[in-house]
Amino acid sequence: MMAVRSIWAVARQTLLECFRSRLALALLAVLLVIILGLGLSMQDSTTLKSRLQAFLAYSSGLTQLLVGVATVLLGCRAVSGDVQNKTIFLVASKPLGRWHYILGRWLGLSLLNAVLLGAAFLTMDLLARHIRSCPTETETRIARGEQLDRRLDLDRHEVDNNLMAARVARNPQPYDLDAQVSAELERLDKEGGMDLAIRYDIIQMLQSRQGAQKRPVGVDDPEVEAIYQDQGVQASLRQKVIEDLRKGQQEQKQLVAPGQGLWLTFDHLPPSNEASGLELRYMLTPARTPKDETLRTGWMLRDPASGGSVPSPARTDPVKQVISMPLAPQAIGPDGTLRIQYFNLQGDTEVHLKSEDVTLLYRVGSFEGNMLRSALLTLVGMMFLAALSVMFSSFLSFPVACLVCMVALGVGYASDFLLEATRLPNYQAPQAYQVFCLAVVKGLLFFLPSFNQLSPSGRLVEGLVVEWREVIGQAAVWFGRPAEGSFWANLGFVPEYGAGLKMALALLIGCIIYQRRELAKVQV
Amino acid sequence: MANEQDVVVGTVGLSKTFRDFWLREKVAAVHDLTISVQRGEVYGLLGPNGSGKSTTLKMILGLMFPTAGRLAIFGKGPRDVATKRRLGFLPEESYLYPFLNAHETLDYYGRLFHQDRSERKRRTGMLLDMVGLSGAAYRRVGEYSKGMQRRIGMAQALINDPDLLILDEPTSGMDPLAARQFKDLIGELARRGKTIILSSHLLADMEDLCDRVAILFAGQLRSEGTLEELLARRSLTQITTERLDGDTLSQLMAVLARAGKEVLSVETPKDKLETLFLRIIHDAQRQRTSPQTAVNTGQLAEFLRATPGQPEKQVLEELLAPAAEPKPETPEGVSAQSGQAQGAAVEPPPAPASQEVLAELTDSPARQTPTAQSASPESAQPMQADQAVIDELLGKDEKNDGRA
Q: How far is CA A412 from CA A380, A381, A390, B223, in A?
A: 14, 10, 17, 60
pLDDT at B356: 39
**For residue A427, is pLDDT > 70?**
no
In eight-state DSSP terms, residue B76 is B
Question: Which of B320-326's residues contact partners 24+ apart within 8 Å by CB, and which partners?
Answer: B320/B278, B320/B279, B320/B282, B323/B271, B323/B275, B323/B276, B323/B278, B323/B279, B323/B282, B324/B279, B324/B282, B324/B283
Print the domain residue range for A8: 2-146+367-516
Q: What is the dihedral of CA B43, B48, B50, B56, to 10 degrees?
A: -10
Which residue, among A389, A436, A435, has the nearest Cα to A412 in the 3D structure? A389
pLDDT in tens, A225-243: 888 888 888 888 888 888 8
Q: Has residue A159 been placed in a domain? A: no
Residues A72 and A118 in one domain: yes
Nearest CA in chain A to B104: A13
A349, A431: one domain: no
Q: Which of residues 15-44 of A touch B (CB under 8 A)?
A: 16-17, 20-21
Q: Is the pLDDT of residue A213 over 70?
A: no
Range with the poorest average pLDDT among A471-475, A480-484, B341-345, B394-398? B341-345
Q: What residues in chain B have per-residue pLDDT under 50?
A: 1, 291, 308-386, 389-390, 393-404
Share of chain A above pLDDT 90, in %: 40
Please give the C-alpha separations between residue B287 and each of A363, B128, B180, B294, in angstroms, as whole numbers: 79, 22, 20, 15
**Does B343 lie at the interface with A, CB-CB under 8 angstroms?**
no
Would you place residue A2 in the very low, low, confident or very high pLDDT band (cuts 50, 70, 90)? confident
Regarding whether A413 and A285 lie in a shared domain, the answer is: no
**Does any domain span residue A170?**
no
Distance between CA A48 and CA B210 in Å, rounded?
A: 80
**How far is Cα B347 from Cα B262, in angstroms, rounded to an integer?**
13
3-state SS, B83-109, equals: HHHHEEEECCCCCCCCCCEHHHHHHHH
Phi, psi of A331 (to 5 degrees): -70, -15
Could you give the number of structural domains in chain A?
Answer: 3
Domain end residue (candidates: A211, A237, A255): A255
Residues 6+ apart with CB under 8 A from B148: B133, B136, B293, B294
What are chain B's domains?
4-230 (3.40.50.300), 233-269+329-404 (no CATH)
Q: In terms of domains, do A447 and A494 share one?
A: yes
Put simply, whether B280 touches A (Cβ < 8 Å) is: no
Q: Which residue has the higher pLDDT, A109 or A491?
A: A109
Contact residues on chain B for A21, CB-CB shorter than 8 A: 99
CA B332/CA B338 separation, integer angstroms: 10
d(CA B102, CA B109): 11
Angle at Cα A43 formed by Cα A42 and Cα A45, nearest 5°?
Answer: 90
Test B63 with A92 for CB contact under 8 angstroms.
yes
Q: Is A277 part of a structural domain of the chain? A: yes
d(CA A439, CA A342): 45
Q: Are residues A53 and A15 in the same domain?
A: yes
Last residue of a domain, one of A224, A255, A286: A255
Q: Which residue of B has its CA nearest to A5?
A: B114
Report the pLDDT averaged over residues A104-115.
Answer: 96
Residue A511 and residue A372 share a domain: yes
B-chain residues near A20 (CB < 8 A): 99-100
**Residues in CB range of B189: below 8 A, 6 or more apart:** B158, B165, B196, B300, B304
Instruction: State yes or no: pLDDT of A54 exceeds 80.
Output: yes
Any CB–CB contact under 8 A between B54 and chain A?
yes
Q: How far apart are CA B171 and CA B150, in angstroms?
A: 8
Q: Is residue A372 located within the same domain as residue A361?
A: no
How near does any CA of chain B get to the CA of A389, in Å? 21
B61, A86: Cβ pair inside 8 Å? Answer: no
Q: What is the pLDDT of residues A508-518, one digit of tens each?
A: 999 999 999 99
Out of A336, A365, A394, pick the residue that ends a domain: A365
- A268: domain CATH number? 2.60.120.260
- Band (pLDDT 50/70/90 cuts) for residue A275 is confident
Q: Give yes or no: residues A356 and A382 share one domain.
A: no
Maximum average pLDDT range among A139-143, A299-303, A389-393, B19-23: A389-393
- In chain A, residues with a C-beta closer than 8 Å to the C-beta of B62 are 92-93
| A378 within a domain of the structure (yes/no) | yes
Tell me which chain B residues have a C-beta less than 8 angstroms from the C-beta of A519.
Answer: 63-64
Contact A498, A475 (CB under 8 A): yes
Return the DSSP state at B213: E
pLDDT of residue A162: 83
Domain co-membership, A371 together with A512: yes
Same domain, A373 and A487: yes
For the cut 90, the answer to whether the pLDDT of residue A247 exceeds it is no
Q: What is the pLDDT of residue B235?
A: 78
Q: Looking at the domain assignment, is residue A354 inside a domain?
A: yes
Asked whether residue A154 is assigned to any structural domain, the reply reads no
Inter-chain touch A6–B114, beta carbons under 8 Å: yes
Contact (CB, 8 A) for B266 and B310:
no
How far CA A252 is from CA of A262, A295, A345, A353, in Å, comes to: 11, 19, 18, 10
Collect all residues with Cβ–Cβ distance below 8 Å to A83 and sequence separation of at least 6. A519
Checking if the pLDDT of A83 tops 50, the result is yes
Note the pLDDT of residue A426: 61
Looking at the fold, whether A20 and A134 belong to one and the same domain comes out as yes
Do A358 and A401 share a structural domain? no
Dist. CA B72–CA B164, nearest whole Å: 13
Does a structural domain hold residue A249?
A: yes
Q: Which residues 141-170 of B are in CB contact (within 8 Å) with A?
A: 156, 166
Residue A487 resides in a domain = yes
